[in-house]
Amino acid sequence: MGNTQGSVRRDRHESDGSVRKVGNYSDDDQCPVQLKISRIKSETYADANHKDRGGYPVVVKWTGFCCFKLGNAKSVSLGGSWDGWKKKLTMVRSHEDFITIVNLPEGRHEFKFYVDGSWICDNNLPKTDNPLGSENNVLVIDRSDYEVFDALDRDQAASVTDNSTSSCEECYNKNSSYTQELPEVPVFRKYSEPPVLPPHLLQVILNKDTPISCDPNVLPEPNHVMLNHLYALSIKDGVMVLSATHRFRKKYVTTLLYKPI
């Protein structure tokens, strides 16, 4: 669309008799409606890419006031000739502004804003007469406006390809150090003594005294780390005692095995 806003400037007469300049200024915040060309990132480029997306992406921004309607708008929609004026695209509120993105084919398009139930044509943008006796804003999509973005996309795609190639080469170099040859099994030296018992296994419930208030035939509830271990008592009078505690649902079962030596 390029310079669609470049040559429109008008004077507004205020109630006190002063004249206020309205139109297209360099400051974007002073323009009621800003139409800016936006570029959507893609892996492909050129005209085929735009056709796949349904056209060229255009950002339409409504800044909350118009020469015909002052004050903050509650709802703003956008309608245009690109679909025969069949649908109104709802614009998304961003603070005091309303924004939407439209994919349009190359060529000339007419559009209008539907603000709080009223169709509004912005005088600060190019416009033309319509068959109903009112006016529509005009937007022209030119392929040349997107050539810069296509070039940037091609450069970005090339850089991504180079980075992917270098990453694959690094992965190949790392994998080249692997082999299918089995290393020699180390010979573990034999310990003369068994390993030290972990401290959390020292509290054996069979060695604890049963409180007077408890049934002497019932053992206290064991800790979960003590389950499924085999305990052995020192051999006395030629008998070895083995014990193991298991959990069955909400019950704990401790089994004792007496074995003569």
CATH 2.60.40.10 in the chain is located at 9-151
Stretch(es) of the chain classified as CATH 2.20.25.290 = 199-260
Q: Exposure pattern of 39-61 as b/e (b: 16+ CB <10 Å)?
A: eeeeeebeeebbeeeebbbbebb
pLDDT mean across residues, the chain: 70
Contacts 24+ apart (CB under 8 A), 140-143: 140/1, 140/2, 140/4, 140/107, 140/108, 140/109, 141/1, 141/55, 141/56, 141/58, 141/104, 141/105, 141/106, 141/107, 141/108, 141/109, 142/1, 142/2, 142/106, 143/47, 143/56, 143/106
- pLDDT for 98 equals 80
Whether pLDDT at 57 is above 50: yes
Q: 199-260: which CATH topology?
A: N-terminal domain of TfIIb (2.20.25)
CATH 2.60.40.10 is the classification of domain 9-151: yes
Residues written for the chain: 261
Q: What is the pLDDT of residues 130-146, one digit of tens each?
A: 888 888 888 888 777 66
Closest CA to 98 of 33, 29, 30: 33
Residue 244 has pLDDT above 80, yes or no: yes
Q: Using one digit for the tens of pLDDT, what is the confidence trace for 159-217?
A: 766 566 565 666 656 556 677 777 666 655 666 677 787 887 777 777 777 666 667 67
Q: What is the pLDDT of residues 2-52, one digit of tens each?
A: 444 444 444 544 444 444 444 443 344 434 444 444 444 433 444 444 455
pTM for this entry:
0.39
